Amino acid sequence: MSLIEIIMPKMGESIMEATVLKWLKNVGEKIEADEYLLEVATDKIDTEVPSSHTGIIKEILVPEGEVAEIGKPICIIETEGTTSQDLAQPAQISTKLEQEIEEIKSLTGINIEPIPVAETSNGGARFYSPLVLSICKEENISTAELTSIQGTGADGRVTKHDIFAYLENRTAPKSVALPVVEVKTQPVFVSGNDEIIQMDRMRRMIADRMVESKRIAPHVTSFVETDMTNVAIWRNGIKDSFKKEYGENITYTPILVEAIVKAIKDFPQINASVDGDRIIVKKSINIGMAVALPSGNLIVPVIHNADSYNLVGLTKKINDLSKRARENKLKPEDLQGGTYSFSNIGTFGNIMGTPIIMQPQVAIMAFGAIQKKPAVIETPQGDLLGIRQKMFISHSYDHRVVDGSLGGQFVKRVSDYLEAFEIDRKLL
């Protein structure tokens, strides 16, 4: 018999910790290798973690509601084996914090000045997660302030809750006179006929991110009306044979993604993020697509390297991500690395909207419902009136770095590609 530590696995780039939501096995119960052991939540996704070994659970090291660090033990199991294996020692945090900060920079794109090593009560180095460091940057918390904050995490680690608690009690320097502003708020009345719904974790996270995005980026929106007649005729003519040959339903979405990808290649500056006074133009084209969940919440899985797929590949990828999103089976890496996003609000019958940018991206597009409308058709013999299938495209962009010229030209280029779609196009 031997004791084995089950280590919290890597959840994706830039994720350094996860909150334990629920243990699926109790102490004394048997767990099989690859069987789900617990449910965890990161700032990107809720997911289940499998066991790396088969055995009996002897001790749970991170209780429900507590934070588990990536690469650290979360429980101990007893395994059967012909050889004895000593209990693995917990990984020690490196004393070379400068190297860790450089790694955090490369993973998150956040430019953070190195923070001196602070000694904890047990004499080890004090580690700061990327989330904590990014909050400190946004709130202008200095190195001295950060090292003075008492941590409630493991080994005295400072958590995001410690930072928020510090900010609530933080006082302005005495030399700065702050004006007193009286804010009058209307009381909230609740009657016996009202239904009170507590926000779930995902809704709270969405709320925080949307408010933060509007605070960070000055949003501007441009609109274009697009003739989708050729696209609609082509799709209606091919959807049955496509389903028979590839076993997939082809929607308008892969065609829309293809047009976005082509336009990004024409205007690469739109495929960017902002870091202080630096604009980081991304070389990879990773398209995030908003998916509405059965709960009413919204999630944005990412089509990585979208420019590497043809229409068949895009259809399969989009259908797979959408299905797994609705079944809560996305992996953390499915939500990471997006460089540009879109929302297909036409699926709800909406004709147009003004979407909120996914930080740290600089733009997002929304496609409205396709509607039949009378339109002027230009012919060599003169203008005629006809019925065309029209769609509004809206494009919200960060006016800090994207001016009206770039934002407007980009959405018009997407429209141009859709209108120029070949009605007799072959799939391969």
Q: Which of 155, 320, 399, 416 is catalytic?
A: 399
Q: Give 353's Cβ-side CA count (13 Å radius).
A: 18
Q: Is the pLDDT of residue 58 over 80?
A: yes
What DSSP element (H or E) covers 133?
A: helix 130-138
Which single residue is written with the structure tokens 């830039």? 14
Query: What's the token pair of residue 413?
Result: 């280029």
Q: How confident is the model at residue 119 (pLDDT cuts 50, 70, 90)?
A: very low
Q: What is the pLDDT of residues 63-106, one digit of tens each?
A: 988 888 888 999 999 987 643 344 444 333 333 444 544 554 45
Q: Which pLDDT does position 95 carry in this prediction? A: 37
**How much is the mean pLDDT over the chain?**
83
Percentage of the chain modeled with pLDDT above 90 = 50
Q: What is the pLDDT of residues 147-176, one digit of tens each?
A: 788 777 655 677 777 777 787 776 544 444
Q: Which of 200, 208, 275, 403 is catalytic?
A: 403
Which single residue is written with the structure tokens 């990004």? 264
Angstrom distance (rounded) from CA 377 to CA 373: 12
Q: How confident is the model at residue 179 (pLDDT cuts 50, 70, 90)?
A: low
Query: What's the token pair of residue 150?
Result: 């008492």
Q: Identify whether 403 is a catalytic site residue.
A: yes
Q: Nearest Cα to 330, choosing from 107, 46, 50?
A: 46
Q: What is the pLDDT of residues 220-243, one digit of tens each?
A: 999 999 999 999 999 999 999 999
Angstrom distance (rounded) from CA 323 to CA 325: 5
Q: Which pLDDT does position 131 carry in this prediction? A: 66
Helix, strand, coil percent content, the chain, rounded in steps of 5: 30, 25, 45
Average pLDDT of the segment spanning 34-40: 88
Q: 35-53: b or e for each residue (b if 16 or more CB lie within 10 Å)?
A: eebbbbbbebbbbebebeb
Q: What is the pLDDT of residues 331-359, one digit of tens each?
A: 888 988 999 999 999 999 999 999 999 99
Q: Which pLDDT does position 158 carry in this prediction? A: 78
Which residues are CB-contacts of 402 (< 8 A; sequence separation ≥ 6)?
220, 269, 270, 362, 363
Q: How confident is the model at residue 129 (pLDDT cuts 50, 70, 90)?
A: low
Residue 117 or residue 290, greater confidence: 290
Q: Is the pLDDT of residue 61 over 80?
A: yes
Q: What is the dihedral of CA 261, 206, 20, 197, to 10 degrees?
A: -140
Q: What is the dihedral of CA 167, 172, 178, 184, to 10 degrees?
A: 20
Instruction: Determine phi and psi for 39, rounding to 5 degrees.
Output: -105, 135
Q: Identify whether 399 is a catalytic site residue.
A: yes
CB 217 within 8 A of CB 357: yes
Query: What's the token pair of residue 37?
Result: 């052991």
Q: Which pLDDT does position 84 carry in this prediction? A: 38
